[in-house]
Structure 1
């Protein structure tokens, strides 16, 4: 992992089919572990990437063959993941309006289907950006949380009173 502000970059391209989403999860699990993320953060990253890939599989290619590119950029303080497809774009603002505000008090039966994947991604990751120029690119950031232990903690010695 580079410490000078540049990133190590890992790329993976998979077919846009449900059976390959596990491969994307394995990739980001290994990279997130290498970044030093906590177990809970690694699980959040895996779920967010799986949701982004699932959205691409279900909506991007409309029963055509296509691919999904997963790119991980590993910085010293964060992990940036981009999930991209070259399929059909959508109007993000219109989708937000269709979904409406999420009522946390509503019963599960009244929640409309669609849009919850993006809501979940936003909930799990520290930063999310969705671009839809040609296809869709979901950029997600998870910051590495340091535990705050001093670097010289091993040098500490107990003095007898």
Structure 2
């Protein structure tokens, strides 16, 4: 997995706070060397995941919190959005994520329309864990760090 650093933020589950996360994400991704187009893709995908958490995780509740964690690796950025609002162990959550189940994930995020489809089209990897809330893990690789061989994606 390699050494990494992470930044964790919590916001009230309200749309007006999404911009703060977009600004933070832009700063982190720019510092890592992502180009403009990839930064825009990241911002759209992460905004969509947060909006889903606000709309579906809390259904208008005024009390909810959303946790956003940025895992900064040498070859990729992982963004984790958790709608339970509780602190979590980044490595533990990563270890709990099982195999991809298309049907379950589609059910979770498609209520809002494009939801998961949009996120998946903009990110390199998307994983979802449902426990007390919904955890969405989105990964974007730095250009040239990922190659496809015989249909399997490997890091270089």
Give the 4+ runs in structure 1 shifted more than 4 A.
none
TM-score (norm 1): 0.72
Tell me the distance in 2 between the aligned counterparts of 1:97 and 1:72: 25
Q: Is the 8 A contact 1:52 1:121 kept in 2?
A: yes
Aligned CA distance change for structure 1 residues 95 and 82 (closer, same or farther; 3 Å): closer
1:124 counterpart (116, 122, 125)? 122
1:63 counterpart (39, 60, 67)? 60
Q: CA offset at residue 121 of structure 1? A: 0.2
- Deviations along 1:89-127, whole A, 9 cap, x unmatched? xxx73673799xxxxxxxxxxxx9734121100000000
Aligned CA distance change for structure 1 residues 122 and 69 (closer, same or farther; 3 Å): same
Q: Quick check: which has more Rg, 1 or 2?
A: 1
> Paired residue for 1:74?
72
Q: Which consecutive unaligned segments of at least 5 residues does structure 1 have?
A: 100-111, 148-161
Q: Which consecutive unaligned segments of at least 5 residues does structure 2 have?
A: 86-101, 146-156
> Paired residue for 2:149?
none
- Deviations along 1:27-80, whole A, 9 cap, x unmatched? 111111111111100000001010000001111112221011110011110001
TM-score (norm 2): 0.74
Q: Is the 8 A contact 1:96 1:115 kept in 2?
A: no
Tell me the distance in 1 between the aligned counterparts of 2:59 and 2:120: 25
Aligned CA distance change for structure 1 residues 95 and 128 (closer, same or farther; 3 Å): closer
Tell me the distance in 2 between the aligned counterparts of 1:12 and 1:63: 21
1:96 counterpart (94, 106, 123)? 106
Q: Counting strand residues as a fraction of each chain, which structure ranks higher?
A: 2
